Amino acid sequence: MVGEESGCGVEGGTGGGEVPAASAPNGDRSGNSRLAVPSSSADDRGFHRSSTMPGVIKNDEITNESTGPSNLERSRTERRRQNNPTIDPAKQLLDERIPIKKKLKMLNRIATVKDDGTVVVDVPSGLEPTIVGGTEDIYTEAVEEALDGTEILYRPPMQIVILIVGTRGDVQPFVAIGKCLQDYGHRVRLATHANFKEFVLTAGLEFFPLGGDPKILAEYMVKNKGFLPSGPSEIPIQRKQMKEIIFSLLPACKEPDPDTGIPFNVDAIIANPPAYGHTHVAEALKVPIHIFFTMPWTPTNEFPHPLSRVKQPAGYRLSYQIVDSMIWLGIRDMINEFRKKKLKLRPVTYLSGSQGSGNDIPHGYIWSPHLVPKPKDWGPKIDVVGFCFLDLASNYVPPEPLVEWLEAGDKPIYVGFGSLPVQDPQKMTEIIVKALEITGQRGIINKGWGGLGTLSEPKDFVYLLDNCPHDWLFLHCKAVVHHGGAGTTAAGLKAACPTTIVPFFGDQPFWGDRVHARGLGPPPIPVDQFGLQKLVDAITFMMKPEVKDKAVELAKAMESEDGVTGAVRAFLRHLPSKAEEQSLPQSSGFLEFLGPLSKCLGCS
């Protein structure tokens, strides 16, 4: 859940949660780490609260559970989805009377956090894919409406807020979507981090600041491979950022413009998943919400959650609920405090879900269906709209030295990791320069936030770049090497560039795998495995004529897509009509697969 910039940026998401077990104090020595035992708090009236994101726990530490009942009431949202718990151990995951330690022990039977930061989901062999994760609302073929070539549904002018957490690459597609909504007569406020105020205002949208610092978030995500902290020292940093974000969401939806004082009362919400709390705000304000994201966040049997590792296809769908529950473990106390103090809503109980991935909330995914088609088991409220490009090239005037360097030789290879911090930028720069020299290629190195490009002496085959719109630059490159953010990946593929992805965290490995599967580039090179020989091999792979041919083929297919218009069309189409009763947004939960899940928990 953190994104990439158009010129130098980051992707993830919010993407995206993992923890290197080796660095955690309670981790076992097998390279696996367990879920953290949340601490309890007296002010919860018997309800145990999580004080941290899932960290680590030894099996022998899950002991001495208390079975005292909880007085915490279910929210209206929950009551509409939950049945009374029975003696089924799987349903006990939703029973607030069961202590959290016991629930974690049950969850630990099928989920482990590896030392490389991925969540490993292990289910019994021999199960059918539709068994694990439930069969409710499973579709046998893709249910979708054309998002191109049809008229956009008219809606009376609305005040729309777009809640986006991440870095510039996460924000940029929504700037394009917001501008399109404005063209159809709607007032659009884009609420994101203060760092991007000028970017948003320059695009002609209204701006409202959200909490959190994208640079701190990016550093945290790179270090921890995602959402989960690597040790106790990381917890206060991460939680402070998340709380600032969550508690800034309500003001973004109802407070006047901070600069002009013009009143604002939201009619509809668009958000990305890392804006935790979005569905709760929508519930409190009784307005519709639509989730858009650059990585899969809806359960499917076709591939696992990008933040998980699942060997058995039967566990693909389940992996989404597992990752969702792990995130919920770490933020539920903040969410419940937010609900109680700011939203005036009842708290939601443990493992009730919070991430808004239920079938009742429409989702739009910002990628090309020619690269990743819509899964057959996604329903009619889920759309793959296409990549959303913001035209930055048309107004860009490149510096004369760059133009002269480009014209002086063959097309170069672009290498850059945008806003992602690099642990040893000097060493990485040396590897890049040496690989270019060995393969006889010219190269552009984007310095980005990582500080690449410090050379002991200038090289005529290397150009050091501070910033440049990807949609302009990549048209002048023969191939690209980058971190694999969705936006950067899209820009490279649109320019028909063979692509090597060096993933840092989040959904970046997912895009690396998809690019390689289509023959558009070599296997992804995880950043901690980045080395001279691997980069040389990757460049050699990208120079194959058949790889270029496949890149050109995909680029031509993408020419017919208009992701921005598709996103706006999907958003307006899924809005409830005046005649419809607007039900409250419902959070995702485990009810969709609790019965089948009991088989994975060793229950008959």
Residues 541 and 571 in one domain: no
pLDDT of the residue at 593: 40
Residues 341 and 417 in one domain: no
Q: Exposed, middle or buried by CB within 10 Å (0-12, 13-18, 19+), for 192?
A: buried
Residues 284 and 416 in one domain: no
Residues 289 and 210 in one domain: yes
Series of mean pLDDT values for 10-residue runs along the chain (604 residues): 41 35 36 39 32 33 36 46 41 59 70 66 63 46 52 92 91 97 98 96 98 78 54 66 95 97 98 94 97 94 90 86 82 93 88 52 97 95 96 92 97 90 87 97 87 82 92 98 94 98 89 97 95 98 98 97 97 83 45 42 42
CB–CB of 521/546 below 8 Å? no
Determine which helix (DSSP H) or strand (DSSP E) holds 105, and give its type and residue range.
Answer: helix 100-108
Residues 285 and 410 in one domain: no
Residues 553 and 566 in one domain: no
Q: Does residue 209 lie in a domain region?
A: yes
pLDDT of the residue at 504: 87
DSSP 180: H
Q: Does residue 395 lie in a domain region?
A: no
Residues 479 and 332 in one domain: no
Residues 407 and 334 in one domain: no
Decide which of 558, 574, 593 is a domain's last residue: 558
Q: Does residue 513 lie in a domain region?
A: yes
pLDDT of the residue at 413: 99
In the chain, the amino acid numbered 328 is W
Decide which of 558, 574, 590 is a domain's last residue: 558
Q: How far apart are CA 578 and CA 38, in angstroms?
A: 44
The DSSP secondary structure of 267-327, one letter per residue, reads SEEEE-TTSTTHHHHHHHHT--EEEEESS--S--SSS--TTEEESSGGGHHHHHHHHHHHH
Q: Does residue 393 lie in a domain region?
A: no
Residues 456 and 496 in one domain: yes
What domain range includes position 408? 400-558
The candidate with the shortest Cα–Cα distance to 10, out of 375, 507, 512, 424, is 507
For position 313, which CATH number holds? Answer: 3.40.50.2000
pLDDT of the residue at 213: 86
Q: Does residue 405 lie in a domain region?
A: yes
pLDDT of the residue at 11: 38
Residues 462 and 573 in one domain: no
Q: What's the farthest any 2 CA atoms get from each other in the chain?
A: 75
Beta strand 111-114 with 119-121: parallel, antiparallel or unpaired?
antiparallel
Q: Does residue 260 lie in a domain region?
A: yes
Residues 6 or more apart whose Cβ sits within 8 Å of residue 80: 584, 586
Residues 520 and 568 in one domain: no
CB–CB of 407/430 below 8 Å? no
Q: Does residue 243 lie in a domain region?
A: yes
pLDDT of the residue at 506: 79
pLDDT of the residue at 10: 34
pLDDT of the residue at 2: 41
The order of strands in the sheet holding 32-33 is 32-33, 111-114, 119-121, 308-310
Q: Does residue 392 lie in a domain region?
A: no
pLDDT of the residue at 321: 83
pLDDT of the residue at 598: 43
Q: How far apart are CA 491 and CA 489, in angstroms?
A: 6
Count: domains in the chain: 2
Residues 535 and 585 in one domain: no
